[in-house]
Structure 1
Amino acid sequence: MTRIFCIGELLIDFVAENQGSDLSVANEFTKKAGGAPANVACAIAKLGGKSNFIGCVGKDPFGTFLLNVLNQENVDISLAQRSKKFTTLAFVSIAEDGERDFVFSRGADKELKYDSTIRNKFQGHMVHFGAATALLGGGLEEAYGHYLFDAITKDCFISFDPNYRVDLWKDKEESFIKKSLAYVEKSHLCKFSLEEALLLSGKETVEEACIKLHEVGAEIITVTLGKDGTYVSTPQSQKTIASIPVNPVDTTGAGDAFIGCLLYQIAKLDDSGSLATNFDLLCNMVGMANKAGAITTTQYGAIVALPSLEQLQA
């Protein structure tokens, strides 16, 4: 099976459950492993796929905890780095409907250093770029750009999820758009929320947004719509794929479970490059990925809630 390299942040989520989606009123927090690219790597591994995580945590107990979690989930952490900077933290408050409020305290994730020896490991495999903190400067953004070039030159299937967080990009939306579009241009697959698709395209509907983002360069676009499913778009075909009904308690990691499940399925193909022209197969894969995302919302915490292959097939 093709290996999937997931690049970006690994951090601690301090989660306030059932205390409203306003952090100012939350009093009690639970420590959980988080970070979108790390969640994706775990989603892939939990389904039986092969995933590597490339990112940086601190040389502190939190960093040790995070790497142990990934290792226990069978994610290859041999390419992860550790820094003297403190492990990055995120504080998350979750309302009864599963919606969230985020505040970040950045640390070691931005210290990732580019490792030129990794580029030969990419050859013919898949690389997923999860960008929640990766475009905010520092060593991580520099390494990110190098790894994109390596993925292009090593004939990789490239996936991109901008993971837009309002708290991180206040008054800097134009910079976020410009930096994200450089990755959209080179990606075979892009996963967006509806908010992200409209923001990056400057359009007012999901249909118009996808047309614009295909013009930028994305071959396959998925726009997750929560309980309404996922809008799937190629330059030739478009369709909304329904999700399954669930009672959500925490939407954290649902999008990561979705893209992880989709990448896992693509990795099993003999020729991932042909997927854009096989729309029926793509839609079937998205239907399975929708199920993975929905199941993840039924428990608190992203990684612990990720479904196994047996759960998806049940």
Structure 2
Amino acid sequence: MWPVWCFGEVLIDFLNIGASEEAGLRLPELRQYPGGAPANAAVAVAQLGGQAGFIGQVGDDAFGHFLLHALQQKGVDISRTVIHPTAPTPLAFVLLDANGERSFEFLRRDSADVLFRPEQFLPQWFQGQGILHLCSNTLTEAAIAATSMYGVEKAHEAGWWVTVDVNLRANLWPGKQIDVERVHALCCAADVIKISREELQVLGGEPRVAQWLEAGCRLVLVSDDGNPLYFATSAAHGGLSGWVTVPRVQVVDTTAAGDSFSGAVLYALARCLPEQPALLSDEQALRAVIGFAIACGAHTVQRKGAFPALPQFNDVAAAWQL
């Protein structure tokens, strides 16, 4: 099985779990959870039984040490996770509406995660074969964007696969203005892209899928809430395309659903590609990968939080058809 290394932010999700009334004020009740999209994906891989590690940076504060402990406790290799001596650990406040849908507020200015620099990617990290996974949240500032693309370049030079969960969060961008071309450039450098239908429209719509495949991407996965998921592969992998049905479940919290899906795809690729290099050219096998990932996402939305909601393999073993 290949190792999966996830690069980017690990942060505290303060999740809105209710509210109370006091002195005429409605006071939201918040619970501290470990989170961050790439960190969630790493935990998802580890929970399923894969070899997962996290590349990134936390602050030398109570939150940072809590996150390091949480990653390690979930089986994630933190040997490439750095403690910054002065910058704070990033924080996110996740507010839920009556339907379990989220809104976000972030405390991330000059936080430890965005201060990771290219020279911190060490050449020996890319020995052998593996997968580097990242999201668009490390593109929000020029310096961390350059670091992200440097890591992608080094991964490709070593023959690694690069996977991207687009995971747009406008609140993280200066003036809430997403740099579409910067995100597009990352997608053009990816082997596998996971993106929502809404995010795809922000980046330019359906033509982008063809552009990414022509640029060298092997597989694009487009989720659409509870609607069927669309997939497309490059010509080199048969030019396959189609839809996979998503089951209806009772949604409690969608906080890590996409990360659970991405982690399951990563796990399946890391487990199967060493013995099945033509995996993405086999439509039946590809549909099995996607179906398994959908089952993991469905498991996660029925539970609160990020790390605690991610399934272990036994939870979703019935969905594994590979």
**Fold shared, TM-score > 0.5 on shorter chain:** yes
1:184 aligns with 2:187: yes
Shift of 1:100: 0.4
Of 259, 262, 271, the residue aligned with 1:256 is 259
Match of 2:3? 3
My pick for the range that moved more, 143-152 or 10-19, is 10-19
% identical aligned pairs:
33
My pick for the range that moved more, 278-287 or 302-311, is 278-287
Distance 1:308 1:227 in 2: 23
Distance 1:301 1:151 in 2: 31
| Cα pair 1:26 1:93 within 8 Å, conserved | no
Output one character per residue of 1:25-60: Cα deviation in whole Å (capped at 9) or x when no partner: 762211110100000000000000001100111000
SS in 2 for 1:142: helix
Q: Give the alignment of 1:136-155 within 5 angstroms.
A: 136-137=140-141, 139-155=143-159
Output one character per residue of 1:244-293: Cα deviation in whole Å (capped at 9) or x when no partner: 22101110110000010011011012256523322221111000000001
Distance 2:250 2:186 in 1: 34
Match of 1:214? 213
Distance 2:308 2:124 in 1: 32
Q: Give the alignment of 1:174-253 within 5 angstroms.
A: 175=179, 177-200=180-203, 202-203=204-205, 208-235=207-234, 236-253=239-256
1:29 aligns with 2:30: yes
Match of 2:14? 14
1:94 aligns with 2:96: yes
Equivalences, count: 304
Match of 2:132? 127
Match of 1:300? 304
| Cα pair 2:11 2:34 within 8 Å, conserved | yes
Match of 1:71? 72
Q: Give the alignment of 1:158-173 within 5 angstroms.
A: 158-169=162-173, 171=175, 173=177
SS in 2 for 1:29: strand
Give, as a single letter, the amino acid of the residue that structure 1 aligns with 2:60.
K
My pick for the range that moved more, 164-173 or 228-237, is 164-173
CA RMSD of aligned residues (A): 2.0
| Cα pair 2:134 2:163 within 8 Å, conserved | yes
State the structure with more CA Rg: 2
Shift of 1:198: 1.8
SS in 2 for 1:183: helix
My pick for the range that moved more, 42-51 or 262-271, is 262-271
Q: TM-score, normalised on structure 2?
A: 0.88
Match of 2:46? 45
Shift of 1:214: 2.2
Q: 1:272 and 1:93, CA in 2 relative to 1: closer, same or farther beyond 3 A?
A: farther
Output one character per residue of 1:122-172: Cα deviation in whole Å (capped at 9) or x when no partner: 23211101222x112265333212211101100001101121012123656
My pick for the range that moved more, 77-86 or 118-127, is 118-127
| Cα pair 1:38 1:53 within 8 Å, conserved | yes
| Cα pair 1:111 1:138 within 8 Å, conserved | no
- What 5-or-longer segments of structure 1 have no aligned partner? none
Q: TM-score, normalised on structure 1?
A: 0.90
Of 151, 156, 160, the residue aligned with 1:156 is 160
- What 5-or-longer segments of structure 2 have no aligned partner? 20-24
